[in-house]
Amino acid sequence: MTDLAMYSLDEEGVVVFGFQNLERVISGPEEALQLVAYHLFTTLGTNSFDRDEGGSIQSLARGNLKSEPEIQTEAMIAISRTISKIREIQDTDKKADSTITGLRLLGVSVDYALAKIKLRLRVDLLDGNSFQATFRVT
């Protein structure tokens, strides 16, 4: 069985979601990014088997956009929920090359005219590697 690629990068290096079958099983940073994206964008409470799953990051762009400090605070809460759930999952299924040890918000930018938020995150892996990913929420 192959994994689904949940993301690609656009010309600005922003993560864009789409589904396609891969001919190979993903691992390492790709698997870590897929795990972060899934949990970060899952709406809290929608999984009837696990009501605590989900970072609900997309809720930041719903309705009127708040101030940048308020958005940053809510993003940090969503990231905290995400890393907690990932750690819980990884306790039962550890793979050294993709185990996430840290998830940190590096920056937030808000485009009020387009109702678009960009979040820049750093993902730290157990093997000592880390990478940055930018997520756009509209």
Q: What is the CATH number of the domain that holds 76?
A: 3.10.450.40
Whether the predicted pLDDT of 32 surpasses 60:
yes
Confidence of residue 107 (pLDDT cuts 50, 70, 90): very high
**Is residue 12 included in any domain, yes or no?**
yes
Whether the predicted pLDDT of 4 surpasses 60:
no
**Is residue 75 included in any domain, yes or no?**
yes
Whether the predicted pLDDT of 29 surpasses 70:
yes
**Is residue 127 included in any domain, yes or no?**
yes
Who's near 24: CB < 8 A, 6+ residues apart? 2
Read off the pLDDT of each residue in 34-59 and give the average, rounded to a whole number: 78
**Is residue 2 included in any domain, yes or no?**
no
Number of domains the chain is built from: 1
**Is residue 131 included in any domain, yes or no?**
yes
Q: Largest alpha-carbon pair distance within the chain?
A: 44
At 107 the three-state DSSP class reads: strand
Q: Residue 107 belongs to what domain range?
A: 7-137
Tokens 């994206």, residue?
A: 37
Residue with the bigger pLDDT between 49 and 102: it is 102
**Is residue 1 included in any domain, yes or no?**
no
pLDDT of residue 9: 65
**Is residue 78 included in any domain, yes or no?**
yes
Q: What is the pLDDT of residues 50-103, one digit of tens each?
A: 767 777 787 777 767 788 899 899 899 999 989 988 888 877 766 544 688 899
Who's near 56: CB < 8 A, 6+ residues apart? 42, 43, 44, 78, 81
Q: Are β-strands 130-137 and 116-125 bridged in parallel, bridged antiparallel, or unpaired?
A: antiparallel
**Is residue 29 included in any domain, yes or no?**
yes
pTM summary value: 0.74
